[in-house]
Amino acid sequence: MPGVEGPTASSSKVKTKAKQRYLKRKKERRKQRSKGYGEVQDGEVAVDDVEDDVDAVDDDDRAGSPENSNPTTPLPSKPKRPKKRRRVEDEDDDDAMAVDTENLSPKTSPERPRTPGTLPALPSFPLPALPNAPSKSELALLGLDRALVGAELIPPSTILPIPLAKEDGGTRLSERTRRRLRDIGVTELFAVQTALLPFLLSEESNELYQPFDPPRDVCVSAPTGSGKTLAYVLPIIETLSERVVTRLRALIVLPTRDLVTQVRETIEVLSKGTKLRIGTATGQHSFAHEQSQLVQDQTDVLYGGSSKVDILICTPGRLIDHIVGTPNFSLQHLRFLVIDEADRLLAQSFQDWLAQVLAATRSQPSISEEERRKLNSDWNALRPDSCSPIVLDGLSQPYIPAFFPETKSTSCQKLLFSATLTQDPGKLAALGLRDPKYFIVKGEDKDRAQSNLLDVVMEKFSMPATLREHMTVMDPSQKPLIFFHIVQTYKIRNALVFTKSAESTTRLVRLFEFFERERTQNADSSTLVVRSYSSDLPVQERKTILEQFKNEKINLLVCSDLISRGIDISNVAHVISYDVPVDMRKYVHRVGRTARAGREGDAWTLVEQQEVHISLYLEIDVTDSCTLKQKARYFKQMMKDADHFDRIRRIKVNERDLEPLLPYYASALQNLKDLYTRQN
């Protein structure tokens, strides 16, 4: 075509020179790469080489094109190509290396070729998995005393008749004691007594002192009203009835004065005909009066102490007072140490009473050399039970050769009793128990021994089979009205009504008295007698009220938790928890005041739906509880955790059922408000 020239020799020469320059640069780059990164693998071309090839071809094309023959002509701009790594392989090689990767496992998959200078991929590991959480039963058994795991489980239905013949019938009781039990109406032993009496009165442990082979300690967990008091009173009387010299050999520690009075009455009745002397120390009388009743001689310090009583029943605070401040008051002769309601006593320090008592049973008084010589000269005149073996170790006894040296230890046997016995290892360790034996009254089937033990450990306490339980949920403002409705509808008499404090007890009694006065003015019915029983009352007045209630002169006894433990009143037919107990243990002790010794009884619990702010004159005290606290939910959950919720019958009270009582209730509230207004 005109104006267009074909390729000339000069243009071909220019192309050849450009090719030479390209080859030279390529050779130099390969030398540099081989020094820094190693040789390029076969079948692989570096990216830089490819890019140089492309640039070189472009240069050749531009140099040989007609447009580029004129150096003044500007070259058209071309877009840059993306830098890529190309794999230069033959088709035959691809077929030879083809692998079915779909059917290969991760372990057998072919290793991918690595490019120079890259690190291998990290191996993959499975994610860590958490172990299965232990069950509640497994957690409950952790740290448990081995002796508790091997506890002897006793079905509650176990009984043992008391025979009148010369044979004891397996009770191990003397004929005098069996006759005495028959005289007071006891014809058979309950479950806890059938297991404990043969153990404590066996031939090996029935001796007064056993310094070389001391008896085992005992821990007993049994429902309320199952006869725990007789279980330890009878062995004490049987063992000490043959004593010659009066020494303090049995110490019974109880949490309240009322329990002390009750246990003393039981011992006095059963020990009639023996020469055993019983004493009490509760602080009800002056300290000097108690000293004169307990100690024979306070002037001279006697070796081994002096005592007027064989059995002492006391509260822990008063006991410490006598240990510290009464001369010749000694526990070195102690044979039995009974701790009743042990979970409550161990939970409260009482001036560290337990450590001081245990130290007093082991300590030996320091005596002068003159006193020691006097005692040694009168060695043959000493009676066997005048001094305990642990005390006699301080004297120079006649030499008796022996092949094996034997050490003496105190013969004090610890007996722990409670319906809710603690399993806290720390509290049990403080007791220093000696090879303890556990007795647990729980379950009807011995084949479920392990399950019954877990129920005890997880605080699933047993209740009397003759107990009927009820609950009703209400608004707090209607709580007194519903309480009056239940009393009138179900004709509740001989009832204990538990509140949360002494102040609540007083308010509820006054409100009930105003209500009864308004109700009986317009109806031909007798007025119910209601009285309060709390720690605010003097001791003598409390004793009088309790006697009137036992004689059924009082219909309802409104009380605090002062008598929720251990008190045995045979005519209690109903127990009403006006304020919900704070824990399962307190609930067990409250309802245990009825349905005792095989008798029937009813337990009622008034549960508030929620707490609200109300006036001071109402019976609900909001200062010690949180506002809007869901008490109903808490009580239900507490019963479900103890596997006890199914036994409780729920009672619903309709508004129309309360209408007949509303006028009397409104008038009673106004009278109570006026009374508190005048007092303030």
Cα(516)–Cα(522) distance, integer angstroms = 10
Q: What is the mean pLDDT of residues 126-130?
A: 84
Q: What is the mean pLDDT of residues 453-462?
A: 68
CATH number of domain containing 158: 3.40.50.300
More confident residue, 86 or 289: 289
Would you say residue 110 lies in a domain? no
Clarify whether residues 430 and 543 are in a common domain. Answer: no
For residue 548, give every residue at least 6 positions away whose Cβ sits within 8 Å of its Cβ, in sequence order, or none.
Answer: 531, 554
Clarify whether residues 538 and 436 are in a common domain. Answer: no
Identify the band that residue 213 occupies on the pLDDT scale cut at 50, 70 and 90: confident
β-strands 601-608, 574-577 pairing: parallel
Domain, as residue range, for 634:
467-613+625-677
- The answer to whether residues 409 and 214 touch, using CB atoms and an 8 Å cutoff, is yes
More confident residue, 622 or 35: 35
Would you say residue 342 lies in a domain? yes
Of 179, 157, 99, residue with least CA distance to 462: 157
- Tokens for 357? 């008592």
Clarify whether residues 433 and 530 are in a common domain. Answer: no
Of 277, 671, 638, 199, residue with least CA distance to 458: 638
More confident residue, 344 or 480: 480
Cα(413)–Cα(206) distance, integer angstroms = 12
Give the pLDDT of residue 138: 75
Would you say residue 317 lies in a domain? yes
Backbone phi, then psi, for 604, in 5-degree steps? -120, 135
Identify the band that residue 336 occupies on the pLDDT scale cut at 50, 70 and 90: very high
Clarify whether residues 199 and 238 are in a common domain. Answer: yes
Identify the band that residue 115 occupies on the pLDDT scale cut at 50, 70 and 90: low
Clarify whether residues 434 and 509 are in a common domain. Answer: no
Q: Tell me, what amino acid is at 340?
A: D
Cα(305)–Cα(280) distance, integer angstroms = 18
pLDDT in tens, 39-55: 444 444 444 444 444 44
Judged against a pLDDT cut of 60, whether residue 69 lies above it is answered with no
Clarify whether residues 474 and 561 are in a common domain. Answer: yes
Q: In the chain, how many domains are there? A: 2
Judged against a pLDDT cut of 80, whether residue 459 lies above it is answered with no
Helix (H) / strand (E) containing 55 = helix 47-64
Clarify whether residues 501 and 582 are in a common domain. Answer: yes
Judged against a pLDDT cut of 70, whether residue 659 lies above it is answered with yes
Would you say residue 67 lies in a domain? no
Would you say residue 128 lies in a domain? no
- The chain-wide mean pLDDT, for the chain, equals 78
Clarify whether residues 267 and 229 are in a common domain. Answer: yes
- The answer to whether residues 252 and 315 touch, using CB atoms and an 8 Å cutoff, is no
Would you say residue 347 lies in a domain? yes
Give the pLDDT of residue 425: 72
Identify the band that residue 399 occupies on the pLDDT scale cut at 50, 70 and 90: very low
Clarify whether residues 418 and 540 are in a common domain. Answer: no
Q: What is the mean pLDDT of residues 12-18?
A: 65
Task: Name which of 184-188, 228-232, 607-611 the model is least confident about.
Answer: 607-611
Clarify whether residues 329 and 180 are in a common domain. Answer: yes
More confident residue, 509 or 25: 509
Clarify whether residues 547 and 510 are in a common domain. Answer: yes
More confident residue, 517 or 609: 517
Clarify whether residues 435 and 530 are in a common domain. Answer: no
Would you say residue 495 lies in a domain? yes
More confident residue, 205 or 53: 205
Give the pLDDT of residue 411: 84
Identify the band that residue 296 occupies on the pLDDT scale cut at 50, 70 and 90: confident
